[in-house]
Structure 1
Amino acid sequence: MTASSGRENPGPEHLPVFPTGTGVDGGVAAPAASRTRPGPRGRSRRPGGSTWRVPTALIALTVIPVIAGSLRLLELAGGPVLLPTNPRIDASPTPVVVHVVAVTLFALLGAFQFSTRLRRRRPGWHRRSGRVLVVTGLGVAGSGLWMTLFYAGAPGGYLLWAVRLLVGSAMAASIVLAFTAIRRRDIPTHRAWMIRAYALAAGAGTQLFTQGISEPVFGTGDLPKALSMTSGWLINIAIAELIIRRPARRRGRRAADAQTRALMVGSP
């Protein structure tokens, strides 16, 4: 009690506390002049609310090719034949086994690398899984290149053959560049190259849609097949480049806003 007013002076425990993620840093309420501006009404931001959206979407994109590859492995292990027969695979199954196992691990494990919250909370897991991704990613690219070079008579003609060589080489180069970038602690460059590698590896998921649209309209000839599969990779790369450049645009906007505020403060 204070002698002058007879009213209880509230301690810190009675002051309002703002929850984290509402536009105000958690803790005791700041004076009105120093509070950050609240966000739009009706759009409360929950910490981690969108943590799993991107990984879930990526897994959904790749799940059908992963299932198809698993059925092929089951067939090669002596199980029932559930997919169309492929004499090239029957004659040399080892590259297919390597490709399916590697791409399954790369697609599923790589999807969780897109969770910012998971990377920040478990950096050790991120580093360990990153090593696995380097090995499996090179396995995907290497086995894909081997099958392109040594499996004769693959559909799609010379155009698709050349595109597959380009995609496999680009994926391998992306992983090597990502690895060298993280070795010198260049995280933005590492992030950019790994995103590109994942986009190329996930091409089969997008190609389900591009081929599904192309075949009823243009048929199943070599040229339509080559163009529809190429468009799947191009769509993925375009989306990857948008994701890579988005943080740079945000940093540029924040820098411009800070410069504008500094000019306003310094103006008479």
Structure 2
Amino acid sequence: MTSSAKRQWLVPIGLIILSLVPVVAGAARVAQLTGGATVTSDNARFFASPVPVLVHIVGASLYCLLGALQFAPGFRRRRPGWHRLAGRLLVPCGLAAALSGLWMTLFYPRPPIDDVLLTPIRLGFGSAMACCIVLGLAAIRRRDIVRHRAWMTRGYAIGLGAGTQVLTHLPWMLLAGQPKGLTRVLLMVAAWVINLAVAEWALRRRPTNRARTTEPAGAPAGVLASR
């Protein structure tokens, strides 16, 4: 593998690493729900209605981990069939993660550490993620690869918010303990904003004429290729 080819894998590997903490936390939650763990005030809402959180964990984990591989441009070009197949899985996984997140926001009791402002914010970002995926799917059906890539990239950036929230929360937790109230709101919003800002920066630095001519034409969930 050449040095250029190795560099192309830096972004996917970084995204997988960023996904690991929420994926591991989700796996621990699944084990808790299926293993008969003690019901506490912190997890009672999940035991009372486990299906939405299980759908969310499975959908979001597959979306983040499998979606990271769509950021390897050389791999996409060499294996366009894989790219299309993965896309057909990523779309329902992403929608399942977004819609189950909306359901939990609306119908699960709000945790004590969450400010009421987080409810409309979560609803906004969850709805935006679902819309981005739908718009990306509609774009590829029109064979508009540039808009397909842009919308899918934005949807993935929102979906990866839980990973970046670990980074925004960690310094505060080390210095002052568990963030609550407005502080927690700002730290969570910062993660989504950081992800979307990076996504927009990467989309704008990539020449659109090259994107129209070099990408596989039928990919329903191809996301940003950093080159």
TM range (shorter): 0.7 to 0.9
| Structure 2 residues without counterparts, runs of 5 or longer | 211-227
Partner of 2:207: 248
The answer to whether residue 102 in structure 2 is matched with residue 145 in structure 1 is yes
* 8 Å CA contact retained: 2:146, 2:208: no
Q: Is residue 99–residue 140 contact of structure 1 (8 Å, CA) maintained in 2?
A: yes
Unaligned runs of 5+ in 1: 1-44, 252-268
Structure 1 residue 213: Cα displacement? 2.3
Say whether residues 1:156 and 2:140 are aligned partners. Answer: no
Deviation, structure 1 residue 217? 4.3
Kept in 1: contact 2:59–2:96 (CA 8 A): yes
Distance in 2 between residues matched to 1:221 and 1:166, nearest whole Å:
20
In structure 2, the CA distance between the partners of 1:233 and 1:168, relative to structure 1 (3 Å rule), is: same
Q: In 2, Cα distance between the equivalents of 1:133 and 1:86? A: 28
Aligned residue in 1 for 2:218: none
Q: Name the count of aligned residue pairs.
A: 206
- Give the structure 2 partner of residue 100 of structure 1: 57
CA contact (8 A) 1:107 1:198 kept: yes
The structure showing larger relative contact order (alpha-carbon pairs under 8 Å, at least 6 residues apart) is: 2
Q: Larger C-alpha radius of gyration, 1 or 2?
A: 1
Give the match for residue 179 of structure 2.
220
Counterpart in 1 of 2:80?
Answer: 123
Q: d(CA) in 1 for partners of 2:60 and 2:127? A: 15
Give the distance between the partners of 1:100 and 1:217, measured in 2 at CA.
Answer: 29
2:220 is aligned to none
Please, what TM-score do these two structures have when normalized by structure 1?
Answer: 0.72
The answer for the alignment partner of 2:154 in structure 1 is 196
Task: Name the CA shift for 1:79/1:58 in 2 (closer, same or farther; >3 Å).
Answer: farther
Identity %: 49
| Aligned counterparts of 1:124 and 1:148: Cα–Cα separation in 2 | 36
**Secondary structure, counterpart of 1:49 in structure 2:** helix
Question: C-alpha distance in 1, partners of 2:41/2:9?
Answer: 35
Give the structure with the larger helix fraction: 2
> 8 Å contact 2:115–2:180 — kept in the other structure?
no
**C-alpha deviation, 1:79, in angstroms:** 5.7
Q: CA deviation at 1:153?
A: 2.2
| Deviation digits for residues 152-182 of structure 1 (CA, Å, limit 9, x no counterpart) | 2233222111110001000000000000000
**1:258 matched residue in structure 2:** none
Matches within 5 A, 1:24-43: none
- Paired residue type of 1:181: A
Deviation of 1:64 after TM superposition, in Å, equals 0.9
Aligned: 1:183 with 2:141: yes
Paired position in structure 2 for 1:237: 196
Question: Aligned to 1:157, what secondary structure does the other structure show?
Answer: coil
Change (3 A) 1:117 1:224: same
